[in-house]
Structure 1
Amino acid sequence: MTFSMTLGPRLQLVASLVPLNASLGDIGTDHAYLPIALVEAQRIAKAVAVDVHEGPFKSALNAVKIRQLEPVIDVRLGDGLKPLAAGEVNVLTLAGMGGKTMLEIFAARPKVLQAVTDLIVQPQGGERTLRLSLLNSGWRLKTEQLVKEDERIYTVMAFSRDEGQTMAELSCQKDVWLQRLSPQKPEDNKFLGHSMIVDKLVWYFGPLILEEAADLLREYLDDYSEMLRRQLEQMKLSNKSETLEKIRDVSEELVFVEGIKKWQYP
């Protein structure tokens, strides 16, 4: 997909997942690059571009005005979904903010969210919490993909009311990974602990991302393993009993991350 406006890899991926002819609400729009690119590519019918900060709001207004796109892109100053009326948009994009912040934005305006059919989100932290919360609320996961920009790997997820996999369907993937990685049986004492570790990892990395095993996943897993090793090195400097317990837990988690790597990249 080619856009007249140059988008970075993150926003390119977000843009590619926006349904055709959407009425888009772009929350945290910054300079309105995403809605401008989608309108100029004739991918969406209209957009409301929202930002809570006056600087980015003015930049977005100016960018839209220069391109004479005011009839199809409405730029508004405000917090989250509060500037939107219920039914005004049917697709939301949120990129570059924490997953917990996204959930707070959704919770503040439930009637607006109720009229939305598709969500495309790119959280910066809180991926596990966001993924689980949306799935437990009845959203379906259409796709989730990794993208690299400026030496950092990000996750982009697309949720829908009607398309994609449900929480129950995706939970089966967790059970599959537990069978792959843990030799323990349900009656064994270690099984519960192993199950909790696998649950944490599957919902952190993403069940669809883990199954796809794209090249970026290997790097993502390597980064996570390195983070755990750094934690272990720091914890080993302490002799506190509670720290020794954390060392055991982190060590077990590291074993399972390495197990995922060996399974997907033998």
Structure 2
Amino acid sequence: MIMSREDISLKMSQRLITVADMLRSDGEVLRAADVGCDHGYVSIYLVQRKIASSVIAMDVRKGPLSAADANIAECGLKNSISTRLSDGVKELKKGEANAIVIAGMGGKLMERLIDEGNLYDLGIRRAVFQPQSDYEEFRQFIRDKGYLITDERVVYEDGKYYFPMKVDIVDSSFDSKNVFDKTLETLFSDSGDIDKDLMVRICNRYGECNLVRKEPLLVPYLDHGKEVLESILKSLDDSHTGRRKEIMEELSDISFAQKILNR
């Protein structure tokens, strides 16, 4: 099918539209890298909506990159969007982009790609990451890198919840830990004397930005999680001590998160 130069959003899922929109910077038109670009829709959207003046659409596979090339050409954007075969950001050169999108991959794979390229040294200052799995571990990974999660959304699509995150890529001189600690103080100020490890675990599981903003879709996400865990708990006998303990811990965390959303 030949793609016209119509608004590419008509061909995009709400997840991808949300990911692309989250990269938007107040008053600044970005130069972006779209890692794992697949069909190139996000790259095209970024330019069509003037979120980015230029995009390097990157993918490790030749097939999707060829499809992205064709879509970019059909939309008349070859002067603004280039394609590049690359495993993660390995082929991205310093100063070519100041923003990056990595979406639709497993969390552990995304961690590897981020670890293999020093985003700050490459000139990246803003990112949107949307892992498909391992959300809890991924949020902690971002904090351990010294980066700052500044926004997060919940998208429900085709029976699954997605958690795109907007991240500031800062250097070691920026005290991102202090910013996060202040967020913890705000979130848990009326929760009594609770352990900091518990606060961090709850934020890792559900996203501190979602909790601060009282993201509406976090409510059904927590309700569904509680229902599933309670069902599993009923099926376990006393021999599953470790698993029962894990489930009880997560149910307690859900209860804490619900209290934050309801206050």
Letter of the 1:12 partner, please give it: I
CA RMSD of aligned residues (A): 2.6
Give the secondary-structure state (helix, strand or coil) at the position aligned to 1:232: helix
Deviation at 1:262, TM superposition (A): 3.9
Distance verdict in 2 for CA 1:42–1:256, change over 3 Å:
closer
Structure 1, unaligned runs of 5 or more: 186-190
Structure 2 distance, partners of 1:110, 1:166, is 17
TM-score calculated relative to the size of structure 2: 0.84
Distance verdict in 2 for CA 1:231–1:44, change over 3 Å:
same
Distance verdict in 2 for CA 1:230–1:173, change over 3 Å:
farther
Letter of the 2:221 partner, please give it: Y
- For 1:5, which of 2, 5, 8 is the aligned residue? 8
Indicate if the aligned counterparts of 2:187 and 2:211 stay in contact, CA closer than 8 A.
Answer: no
Distance verdict in 2 for CA 1:247–1:180, change over 3 Å:
farther
Structure 1 distance, partners of 2:30, 2:186, is 36
Structure 2, unaligned runs of 5 or more: 1-5
Instruction: Indicate yes or no: 2:81 matched with 1:84.
Output: no
Look up the match of 2:214. 213
TM-score calculated relative to the size of structure 1: 0.83
Instruction: Indicate yes or no: 2:96 matched with 1:99.
Output: no
Give the secondary-structure state (helix, strand or coil) at the position aligned to 1:120: strand
Indicate if the aligned counterparts of 1:86 and 1:112 stay in contact, CA closer than 8 A.
Answer: no
**Structural mapping, 1:1-266, within 5 Å:** 4-6=7-9, 7-18=12-23, 19=25, 20-110=28-118, 114-161=122-169, 166-175=176-185, 180-181=190-191, 185=193, 196-234=197-235, 236-237=236-237, 239-240=238-239, 243-265=240-262
Deviation at 1:178, TM superposition (A): 5.3
Distance verdict in 2 for CA 1:56–1:165, change over 3 Å:
farther
Structure 2 distance, partners of 1:42, 1:252, is 45
Indicate if the aligned counterparts of 2:150 and 2:209 stay in contact, CA closer than 8 A.
Answer: no
User: Which is further off, 62-71 or 25-34?
Assistant: 62-71
Total equivalences in the alignment: 251
Structure 1 distance, partners of 2:164, 2:255, is 24
Structure 1 distance, partners of 2:247, 2:18, is 33
Deviation at 1:111, TM superposition (A): 6.2
Q: Provide, for residues 51-100 of structure 1, a one-character-per-residue CA deviation record: whole Å limited to 9, x for no partner.
A: 11222111101111222322211111221111211211110001111222
Indicate if the aligned counterparts of 2:31 and 2:97 stay in contact, CA closer than 8 A.
Answer: yes
Identical amino acids, percent of aligned pairs: 24
Q: Provide, for residues 159-211 of structure 1, a one-character-per-residue CA deviation record: whole Å limited to 9, x for no partner.
A: 1146x993322234445555645x6x5xxxxx65xx54443222121111112
Letter of the 2:247 partner, please give it: V
Structure 2 distance, partners of 1:175, 1:245, is 31
Give the secondary-structure state (helix, strand or coil) at the position aligned to 2:115: helix
Letter of the 1:41 partner, please give it: R
Give the secondary-structure state (helix, strand or coil) at the position aligned to 2:164: strand
Structure 1 distance, partners of 2:47, 2:78, is 11
Deviation at 1:130, TM superposition (A): 2.2
Distance verdict in 2 for CA 1:197–1:224, change over 3 Å:
farther
Give the secondary-structure state (helix, strand or coil) at the position aligned to 2:94: coil
Distance verdict in 2 for CA 1:87–1:137, change over 3 Å:
same
